[in-house]
Amino acid sequence: MENFSNETIDISSLPQYQEVQLDPMHPNYWKVIVLNICITLIFIIAVSTLLFLFNEELRPYILYASLAIIAFAVFLFVIFRLSFQRRGLAVREKDIIYSSGILSSKTTIVPFNRIQHVALNEGIFSRMYKLGALEVFTAGGATGNIKIHGMAIDQANKIKELLSESLNNGI
Amino acid sequence: MESSQFDFSKPRRQSAAGIIFLFSNTLYTLIKNLAIPIIIAVTRSDNSFFYVYVGLSVMVVLVAIGAYLKYKYFTFYLNESDDEFIINEGVFIKTNLTIHLDKIQQVNINQSLLQRIIGFYTLQIDTAGSDKKEGIIRAMDKASAEELKRRLLSRTDNREKSKVISSIDANEESNSSNPFLKLSPLTLLKIGATSNYGQTIALVIAFLAAGFQSLKDIFDIFEVDKDQVGQAFQHGITFLSIGIMIVVILLFLLIINIARTFIKYFDFEVFKQNHSLVVNSGLLAKRNTFLNPHRVQVTTYTQNYFQKKLNLLDMRMQQNATVSQSNKETKSSDVEIPGCSLNERDKILLMIFNEIPTKGIQHTPNYRFVFLSIVFWIMIPGLILLLINNWSYPLLAYLPYFTAYIAFAATMIYYSYRNHRLFVSQDYIMKRHGIWDIDHQILLPYKIQAITIKQMLWHKAANIGHITCHTAAGDISFKFGNYDTLKNLMNYWLYQVESSEKDWM
């Protein structure tokens, strides 16, 4: 008890999360997103081509369908580009900050001493560019977890090590 | 020194009566699921009675053999040198469950109606962490169940005790025999009359739906003339009878609610044991729950208008939720105290927090809080009615009803806004919300797991945002607050979480 002190804290002197410079996603992750969008589009185009080949009644609408697909493609690219640009990550001494959102800006902060475990996922395309998704789990349930796509594997592993170090020190 | 009855170091089986229990349990489930097919088989078949009975007897014998095998292959023991509790079970697929004593969060001893008749108890072990390992021993006599519980918790208790100043121990032990809180039948009556309507209504609807289905099945079996029944119904429905019916239904709900409260909370007692609360309750099935103040994540007290007049409060202590997300048994880790006075609430708060939490600075949401509710509850219904009125069917005659609805909805929305408040003090976060039942949720900042702050693009100019604290017992959010204030709160709470040495669990 002798070490106990209880001084008034000046809230403005506390570290301010909003002043932290967030790192953008790895540029290569955009390529992964583009690859994924292209595959989706190729699939849609293939299905509609088949439909038009085998169903003659639909043929008059071919122009509208192509326009709709083009509009959808543009929409996908714009949305994903925006979402890509608005994601940001920062690792501080004691916590990890992740920010995202198109219509809203959402920032989640997980203190290291509350992390339960960390997982690293690698998709097929991500692996081509040496990228991975880092997932940080807390006891706060699904909404309290964060998943960071498109991190360089090296960086993700570094963070993972850092986290498991602080996890072990905590116990 | 140890009698063989309490020797848990060698693998042992459940009480022999466990066979009866397992047998009747399986049989009960089977009958419950097969009742209608059996009735149909018996009534429909003219001369194949013999086969039906043979089939049923074979089934019963199979269940009995199954119960015996299950009993025989279920063993458990305590490995004291490694601090592990081990359960082996399974006839064809063997399962070995090892629970480390450090990970045990709580041990519950429960008794269902059937177990009460035979005189045995179920011992249930809850573990910490998100892995869903949970141990259940279905039949034990009381003495060994309690002894085993003591042994299982001995390590946990030691750990807890070392954290706490030992001087309090002496006087706490002394009063552990008298209940800390006891609900009298009168209090139960008050509780039944004033709270938990929602649950009862849901229960009655579920029950009626199931009952209606069985009724239909019965009609089908006995080929009751459906037209006759339908006519009987049509004759019965007049204005007066609708009025009487509503009164009867309300009375019926009230009676069911009171009965439910009695069944669930009869003989409700809270004891203090060392540094924990032990809660006993139940008329038919006895429940025994163990609450450790350190493990409480969120404490909530709830009160509605009637309860306020009667000086009654409902309290709920939520422990780690991730342990038990899997099934219904989860609720066992939450402890609910259905009725206590302000005074008793303060005593319980004192027990959990060592002081009575202060409310602190009040934060009020922006008036935009009501917009979404107004759109959803007033504008959309209004628009739909307007469209119906113009395009298909004139509804002008119903205008008074709709006006009444709007007044009602507006009042609701107003109260939900008025009650949505956040109170922050140095040591506590308290959130108030609700329309009729008003909740106060109390959270210690160092029990936060993660924080999310959010702002919609169009709220930027108005400087409004939402904040959510993720805890092990669910999320607590405050919406439409001043964004700058919320940012400060976020920094402050993070500072508290990151600088705190206290264990959140």
Please tell me whether residues A109 and A154 are part of one structural domain: yes
**Is B497 within 8 Å of A114 when comparing Cβ atoms?**
yes
Q: In chain B, what are the domain boundaries? A: 4-163, 187-265, 274-365+418-499, 367-417
The domain boundary, picked from A44, A63, A83, lies at: A83
**Is A144 within 8 Å of B470 when comparing Cβ atoms?**
yes
Residue range B4-163, CATH number: 2.30.29
One fold for B4-163 and B274-365+418-499: yes
Determine, yes or no, domain membership for A18: no
**Is A14 within 8 Å of B448 when comparing Cβ atoms?**
no
Please tell me whether residues A79 and A97 are part of one structural domain: no
The DSSP call for residue A134 is E
**Is A95 within 8 Å of B494 when comparing Cβ atoms?**
yes
Number of A/B CB contacts below 8 angstroms equals 100
> In chain A, which residues have their Cβ closer than 8 Å to the Cβ of B497?
111, 113-114
> In chain B, which residues have their Cβ closer than 8 Å to the Cβ of A109?
450-452, 490, 494
- Comparing CB atoms, the residue among A14, A105, A108 nearest residue B450 is A108
**Quick check: A24 contacting B, CB < 8 Å?**
no
**Is A17 within 8 Å of B491 when comparing Cβ atoms?**
yes
Whole-number Å distance between alpha carbons of B253 and B199:
11
Query: What pLDDT is recorded for position B164?
Result: 40
The domain B274-365+418-499 having CATH identifier 2.40.30.160: the answer here is: no
State both tokens at B120. Answer: 């045995």
According to DSSP, the residues that pair with B454 across neighbouring strands are A106, B466
> In chain B, which residues have their Cβ closer than 8 Å to the Cβ of A15?
491, 494-495
Residue-wise pLDDT tens for chain B (505 aa)? 344 567 777 788 887 777 887 788 788 878 877 777 777 776 666 666 677 778 888 888 888 888 888 888 888 888 877 777 888 887 777 777 777 777 677 787 888 777 777 778 888 887 655 445 567 888 888 888 888 888 887 766 555 544 443 333 333 443 445 777 888 888 888 888 887 777 777 777 877 777 777 777 666 666 555 555 555 555 555 667 777 888 888 888 888 888 888 888 888 888 877 777 788 887 777 777 777 788 888 999 998 888 888 888 888 888 765 444 444 344 446 788 888 888 888 888 888 888 888 888 899 999 999 998 899 988 998 898 888 888 877 777 788 888 889 999 999 999 999 999 999 988 899 999 998 889 999 999 999 989 999 999 999 999 999 999 998 888 899 999 999 999 989 999 999 888 887 777 7
Please tell me whether residues A75 and A111 are part of one structural domain: no
Q: Which residue's entry shows tokens 């991190």?
A: A151
Please tell me whether residues A119 and A156 are part of one structural domain: yes
User: A1: nearest CA in chain B?
Assistant: B165
- Comparing CB atoms, the residue among B457, B491, B497 nearest residue A14 is B491
> In chain A, which residues have their Cβ closer than 8 Å to the Cβ of B487?
16-18
The domain boundary, picked from A62, A83, A104, lies at: A83
Q: Is 0.90 exceeded by the ipTM?
A: no
According to DSSP, the residues that pair with B125 across neighbouring strands are B107, B135
Tally of domains within chain A: 2
**Quick check: A55 contacting B, CB < 8 Å?**
no
Query: What pLDDT is recorded for position B156?
Result: 60
Domain, as residue range, for A146: 89-170
Please tell me whether residues A76 and A105 are part of one structural domain: no
Please tell me whether residues A31 and A71 are part of one structural domain: yes
- Say whether B271 sits in a helix, a strand or coil: strand
Q: What are phi and psi of B435, to 5 degrees?
A: -110, -60
H or E element at residue B335: strand B335-340
**Is B498 within 8 Å of A113 when comparing Cβ atoms?**
yes
Please tell me whether residues A68 and A93 are part of one structural domain: no
Query: What pLDDT is recorded for position B23?
Result: 83
The DSSP call for residue B119 is T
Please tell me whether residues A96 and A159 are part of one structural domain: yes
Sign of CA pseudo-dihedral A36, A40, A45, A50: positive
The domain boundary, picked from A83, A99, A117, lies at: A83
Q: Which residue's entry shows tokens 């043979």?
A: B54
- Say whether B409 sits in a helix, a strand or coil: helix
Burial A119-149 (b: 16+ CB within 10 A, else e): eeeeeebbeebebbbbbbbbbbbebbbbebb
**Quick check: A92 contacting B, CB < 8 Å?**
no
Q: Which of A83, A92, A94, A107 to mutate to test the interface with B (most CBs of B within 10 A)?
A: A107
Whole-number Å distance between alpha carbons of B45 and B49:
7
Q: Which of B455, B492, B493, B494 to mutate to test the interface with A (most CBs of A within 10 A)?
A: B494
Please tell me whether residues A78 and A140 are part of one structural domain: no
Instruction: Tell me how close the Cα of A41 comes to any Cα of chain B, in angstroms.
Output: 29
B181-182 and B269-273 as β-strands: parallel, antiparallel, unpaired?
antiparallel
- Angstrom CA distances, B191 to B184, B260, B302, B312, B359, stand at 11, 10, 12, 8, 26
pLDDT in tens, A72-131: 999 999 999 999 999 998 888 888 899 998 989 999 999 888 887 788 888 788 888 888
**Quick check: A116 contacting B, CB < 8 Å?**
yes
For B303, residues 6+ apart whose C-beta sits below 8 A from its C-beta are B312, B313, B314, B437, B438
> At A133, which CATH number?
2.30.29
Please tell me whether residues A106 and A161 are part of one structural domain: yes
Please tell me whether residues A129 and A60 are part of one structural domain: no
Angle at A59 between CA A58 and CA A64, to 5 degrees: 90
Whole-number Å distance between alpha carbons of B466 and B146:
47
